[in-house]
Amino acid sequence: MTQLLMPKATAVWLIDNTGLSFDQIADLCSLHPLEVQSIADGETGIGIQGYDPVQNGQLTSAEIERCEADPSARLVLAESDLPTPNRRTKGPRYVPVARRGDKPDGIAWLVKHHPELKDSQIVKLIGTTKETITKIRERTHWNISNISAKHPAMLGLCKQTDLDAAIEKAGGTVQQAEEQVSNITELP
């Protein structure tokens, strides 16, 4: 849903240039009717320059005239023909320092139990690098003698639902949660 740009400045303009009721302006601008009344009385919003919603394409003059004629009607924002902006994806999750040492254990478990997972999927799940995955897979990691395969969801490195989705996407079979827990011999 689109929101009104600069609601208080728009309220100032609507108060000065239209015959709309305070309730109609308050509803459009997401303000309290008493706040709109105090702006109209000059108690608040002093120095705020009005923002014309008609000129900026947020309202139409026909919509304002319709609502001036019917005080119970509510203003409706004009539909924008602009494409909706893409939401930015969240970056990598923060992993506490104490858990960073568990990443190789989680990678080893994924490589051992789900070889169908691509390196890029493991990178997204655990938040590691392809180089680390390759070193663990080839057993050339500097700490390979101390790495023991442990379930990454049990270590708190990823969520079980994310792991299941990645396994399904890779073409593997997802076991029920109870089966997974009973089959895990490498508990943290």
Specify whether 62 is located in the same domain as 117: no
- Nearest to residue 59, comparing CAs of 75, 70, 73, 71? 75
Specify whether 64 is located in the same domain as 135: no
Q: Is residue 79 part of a domain?
A: no
Cα–Cα distance measured from residue 106 to residue 21, given in angstroms and rounded to the nearest whole number? 62
Measured from the Cβ of residue 81, the count of other Cβ atoms closer than 10 Å reads 6
Please list the rounded mean pLDDT of every run of 10 residues in the chain (188 residues). 83 93 93 93 90 92 93 89 77 79 94 92 92 95 93 90 90 68 54
Q: Is residue 74 part of a domain?
A: no
The pTM of this model reads: 0.51
Find the Cα–Cα–Cα–Cα dihedral 21, 22, 23, 24, rounded to 10°: 60
Can you read off the two tokens belonging to residue 143?
């700490």
Specify whether 170 is located in the same domain as 105: yes
Q: Give 183's contacts (C-beta < 8 A, 6+ positions apart).
A: 175
**Number of domain units in the chain:** 2
Q: Is residue 48 part of a domain?
A: yes
HSE, CB side, 13 Å, CA atoms: give it for residue 151: 16
Q: Which of 53, 69, 85 is the last residue of a domain?
A: 69
Residue 32 lies in domain = 7-69
